[in-house]
Amino acid sequence: MPGYDVRVAVTVLVRPLDLFDIPSLGRYRRSVLALDSAAALTRGNLLAAGRLLAYLDPRHRLYTAVMEAGDVTCLGQIACRRGERVGRLVFVAPGGEVEQAAALYEHLAARAGQWHLPYLLAEVEEHCPLFQTLRLGGFATYAWQRIWTLPSGTPRAALTRSWQVLRGIHLPEAQSLYAQIVPPLLQPVEPWPQTGRGLVCRAETVSAWARVVAGPRGVWVQPLIHPDSDCAPEHLLALAWTLAPGGRRPVYLCVRSYQAWLEPLLEDLGALAGPRQAVMVKRLAVTQKVEQALPKMEKAWVKPAAPGAAYHFQGLNRHKQ
C-alpha cells in the first residue's frame, strides 16, 4: 500500500550439496562466476557432477554448498589444493545473484575454518559486483593479477632445455628467490617452492621458478622471475612449449602486481591479456582464549609506618592518657 513499508521475512537455509541437486545443475552452467583462475582454465566445466561430489572422498578437500532464500538459490564451492595451507573460493552460481549470497560466503568460510585453514582466497574481477560484497564480508585486497594467454610457437631447442623440474638441489635457491620477490604480506598465502612441484630456469643459479597447474583444458603457470634474470622473455615461450608441446593445450600465465614488469615483455611476445583481477583474502584465524591460573595473593599486613596506622596508635595513646 502507498505510504507503508511492507517487509517480508525470508528464511535463509545453507546446506551441503546433495545427490538430489544434481539434475538441476544444468541451468547454472552458463552463469558460473569462477573465482579460481587455475581451476577454471585447466578443468573447464566447474559444475561437473564428479567434481561437485568429490567431497564424499575424504582424500579431497572440496566442499560445495547450496543457499536457499525464498526464490533465490545459489551454489558455492571451496577447495584446498594438496600441499597448500590456504582455502580457495572456486565458484559461485548463478553470477547474477552474487550480491545476495552473503550467508553462503560466511558458511563456506566457516567450513574452511573447520579444515584449520588460516586464510580463504578469491580472485575477483575489479568491476564485478562481488568485489564489494566480499569486502563487506571481511575480504581484503592483497594484490592484483592479470591472466595472459601465451602464443604458440616453436622456440630454440637450447631454450627448452633451460627449464627443469624443481629438485632438492635447487630448493635453497628457489626459496631464496621466493623470499626476495613475494611481498611479506602475501607469503602466508602464496605456495612455497617444494621439491617436485614446478619448474626452475637455471643458468649458474636459479633465477626463475614457475608454479604449474595442469588439466585437460589447459596449463596455468605462475612465474617468479628475478628482474636481472636471463630467463625472460623468450624463455617463457620455451616454458609454454615444454608444458604443452606443439600447442596442444593453451598455456596461461598468471602475473601478479609484484611482477608487473613482465607485462610489457608479454605484449611484445604477442600474448593476450585478460581483465585485471583482485586477489582477495579473508583471515580465518581466531584468537583462542588461554586459561591461566592467577598467582596466589600474599597476605597484607598493616605497617606501623603507614599514615593510617600512625593515627590509630596516636588515638590509643590519647585514650590511655
pLDDT in tens, 65-123: 999 888 888 999 999 988 888 999 999 998 777 777 889 999 999 999 999 999 999 99
- CATH class for the domain made up of 12-144: alpha beta
Q: Is 188 exposed, middle or buried (0-12, 13-18, 19+ CB in 10 A)?
A: middle
> What stretch(es) of the chain map to CATH 3.40.630.30?
12-144, 151-270
pLDDT digits (tens, 9 = 90+) for 247-278: 789 999 999 999 999 999 999 989 999 999 99
**What dotted CATH number matches 151-270?**
3.40.630.30
From residue 59, alpha-carbon distances to 56, 82, 112 in Å are 9, 10, 15
* Contact between 191 and 254 (Cβ < 8 Å): no
Alpha-carbon span 180 to 203, nearest angstrom = 18
**CA–CA separation, 200 vs 193, rounded Å?**
10
- What SS3 class is residue 31? helix
Task: Give the bridge partners for 123, in sequence order.
Answer: 279
pTM over 0.95: no
- In this structure, what C-alpha cell is assigned to residue 268? 611484445
Beta pairing class for 218-225 and 251-256: parallel
